Amino acid sequence: MGTPTPDPAPDTVYLCQISPNVSCGACCGLYNVADPSRENLEAMLMRRTQWFAEVPHTVAGIDAFKSSVESTEPQERPFPDFHHCAFLGMIEDDGRRVGCLLHPLAVGNGGVDWRGLSYYGGMACRTYFCPSVRHLPVRWLTAVRQSMEHWYLHGLVVTERRLLAAIFAELENRLGRVINSADFSKPGPAAELVTTLATLKLNWPFRRQGALGVSNYFFEDGLYPRPAVKRKTATIPSSHFEEFFKELGSWFPSVDRIERAEATIERLLTALETMLTFNQ
């Protein structure tokens, strides 16, 4: 399966298929499953890829494949109104990453574009780009693109446009300048620190009970708004990092807990600021 490289617009950054191991399937509902762990998703995608290779690549064969996937996999969704595409699978060439089994460059499709058989149809697959692409500056998206090493974290964080905006706006304010692509060249400690900040989404210890964790509804239609930060009492103060805390699904039972959360983010931002200041 090859790597398509459409250019959404001259002043944006392509974030869908990045490198042999980095891609994004979030808009296809990749993480909208009952168990969105990396281990479960990898197993699911590999299983589908193997199954798809065994079915006739015809309308009937592809429809039968979809029915088989939906009858054998749990259909519970954190966001019931967000479609999860059964045709997500694995691209295996010089790496391994998530991709579309119906794409004309997919193994076995012989250049035929089967995406018209998907839920949203081929036009949506060819033209949709997430809010991050439309709203975030190129320099911030480039920093993310250059920092990611694996499709799982890339797809999770690249759609978190408000969290990314909070991170990079705070960083640029501290630096007193805008960031640039040279700041996050790989391999390098600055790119590693961006990855560490992004990883907070996976293991944030201050997440409120019942929060959806890694799952994210990033479409901006107001259907599943992310709630404000929860506090046990009104005596727990607001924070300079309030936007961070909201996007990470936080709740705080005590002042001590919010101070610990602040220290976690401050430590990472300070390290990144120091690194980029030293390298100027």
pLDDT at 140 over 60: yes
Residue 190 pLDDT > 60: yes
Is a pLDDT exceeding 60 seen at residue 5? no
- Are the beta carbons of 215 and 32 closer than 8 angstroms? yes
Answer for the pair 63, 117: CB distance below 8 angstroms, yes or no.
yes
Least confident of 3-17, 212-226, 245-259: 3-17
Residue 126 pLDDT level (bands cut at 50, 70, 90): confident
Confidence at residue 11, expressed as pLDDT on a 0 to 100 scale: 62
Number of H helices, E strands in the chain: 10, 6
- The pLDDT of residue 122: 80
Contact 147, 154 (CB under 8 A): no
Tell whether the model's pLDDT for residue 160 goes beyond 80: yes
Whole-number pLDDT of residue 14: 86
Q: In whole angstroms, what separates CA 266 from the centre of its chain?
A: 23
Q: What is the mean pLDDT of residues 88-96?
A: 92
- Secondary structure (DSSP) of 68-87: HHHHHS----SSTTS---TT
How far is it, in rounded angstroms, from Cα 194 to Cα 50? 34
Q: Is 165 exposed, middle or buried (0-12, 13-18, 19+ CB in 10 A)?
A: middle
Residue 166 has pLDDT above 90, yes or no: yes
- Going by C-alpha positions, the residue among 56, 23, 65 that lies closest to residue 41 is 23
